[in-house]
Chain A
Amino acid sequence: MTATAPSRPAELPSLATTSLSRGSLELKQFMRDRRSMVFTFALPLILLLIFGSIFNKDIVPGVTFSEYFVAGMIASGLVYTGFQNLAIVIPQEREDGTMKRLAGTPLPKAAYFLGKGALVLVSLVVQVAALLLIGVLFFKVHLPSTPEKWFTFIWLLILGLVCCTLLGIAFSSVPKTARGAPALVSPVVLVLQFISGVFIIYAQLPHWMRQIAALFPLKWLCQGMRSVFLPDSFQVQETAHAWELGKVALVLGIWIVIGVVLCRFTFHWQRANEH
Chain B
Amino acid sequence: MPASPCESAIVVRDLRKSYGDIHAVAGVSLEVEPGEIFALLGPNGAGKTTTVEILEGYRKRTAGDVLVLGHDPGRPEPHWRARIGVVLQSTSDNADLSVREVLQYFRTYYPRPRSVNDIIDAVGLVEKSEARVRDLSGGQRRRLDVALGILGDPELLFLDEPTTGFDPEARRQFWDLIRQLKADGKTILLTTHYLDEAEQLADRVAVIAGGVILQTATPATLGGRDSGATTVTWKEDGTVHSLRTDRPTEAVRDLSTRFDGEIPELAVRRPSLEDVYLAMISEREAQTAGATT
Chain A contact residues, CB within 8 Å of chain B: 5, 7-13, 17-18, 21-22, 24-25, 28-29, 32-33, 93, 96-98, 100-101, 103-108, 270, 274-275
Beta-carbon contact of A274 and B59 below 8 Å: yes
Beta-carbon contact of A104 and B108 below 8 Å: no
Q: How far is the CB of A268 from chain B (nearest CB, A)?
A: 12
The binding surface of chain B is classed by DSSP as loop
Chain B residues with CB under 8 Å of A104's CB are 56-58, 81, 86, 88
Residue in A9, A12, A93 whose Cβ sees the most chain B Cβ within 10 Å: A9
Considering the chains assembled together, what is the distance between the CA atoms of A97 and B86 in angstroms? 12
Interface size class of B (residues with CB under 8 A): 35 or more
Chain B residues with CB under 8 Å of A28's CB are 96-97, 101
Q: Which residues 147-180 of B have a CB within 8 angstroms of A?
A: 148, 152, 155
Beta-carbon contact of B88 and A13 below 8 Å: no
Beta-carbon contact of B111 and A13 below 8 Å: yes
Beta-carbon contact of A97 and B79 below 8 Å: no
In the complex formed, the residue of B with least CB distance to A36 is: B96
Considering the chains assembled together, what is the distance between the CA atoms of A274 and B52 in angstroms? 13
Q: Which of A9, A22, A97 contacts B83 (CB 8 A)?
A: A9
Beta-carbon contact of A97 and B92 below 8 Å: yes
The binding surface of chain A is classed by DSSP as loop
Beta-carbon contact of B112 and A97 below 8 Å: no
Beta-carbon contact of B58 and A101 below 8 Å: no
Beta-carbon contact of B59 and A13 below 8 Å: no
**10 tightest A-B CB contacts, nearest first:** A97-B91, A104-B86, A98-B93, A106-B78, A32-B96, A10-B111, A21-B108, A7-B2, A106-B81, A107-B109
- 19 new A-B pairs (CB below 8 Å) besides A13-B109, A97-B90, A104-B58? A7-B69, A7-B83, A12-B111, A13-B108, A17-B108, A18-B109, A24-B105, A25-B97, A93-B93, A96-B92, A97-B91, A98-B91, A100-B88, A100-B91, A103-B58, A104-B56, A105-B81, A107-B78, A274-B53
Q: Which of A10, A29, A105 contacts B112 (CB 8 A)?
A: A10
Q: Which of A8, A29, A106 contacts B109 (CB 8 A)?
A: A106
Q: A21-B109, A97-B88, A97-B91 are in contact. Are A12 and B58 (CB under 8 A)?
A: no
Q: Which of B59, B88, B97, B108 contacts A101 (CB 8 A)?
A: B88
Considering the chains assembled together, what is the distance between the CA atoms of A98 and B93 in angstroms? 5
Q: How far is the CB of A73 from chain B (nearest CB, A)?
A: 27
